[in-house]
Amino acid sequence: MTERKTKVDRSHSLPIIRQCEVLAISRSSAYRPPAGVSNHDIDLMRKLDELHLKHPFKGSRRLRDDLWDVHGLQVNRKRVQRLMRMMGIRAL
């Protein structure tokens, strides 16, 4: 989908709304730049990676619990799932 977002041309005679329809992307993604990853998320991803390397069989629930037990961080399970997806890690 990011490849299609780069094809939106602001100087083209076709309106951006129509370009988005043709490319099958939402208009909001054409106007708003993607949000970057915060420093807090990067730090959390490092800790998740460390825990995942030690225990590759643990899923998001158990990694969330380990973040609380080992690092004292109270993190939402959905956030752990999102970061795991971004990092490309899965429980074995």
Give the tens place of pLDDT for each residue, 53-88.
999 999 999 999 999 999 999 999 999 999 999 999
d(CA 27, CA 50): 38
User: Is there a contact between 14 and 21 (Cβ–Cβ < 8 Å)?
Assistant: no
User: Is there a contact between 4 and 24 (Cβ–Cβ < 8 Å)?
Assistant: yes
Mean pLDDT over all residues of the chain?
89
Kindly state the greatest CA–CA separation across the chain: 57
- Threshold 0.75, pTM exceeds: no
Q: In terms of Cα–Cα distance, which of 81, 80, 89 is closest to 55?
A: 89
The yes-or-no verdict on residue 1 having pLDDT over 60 is no
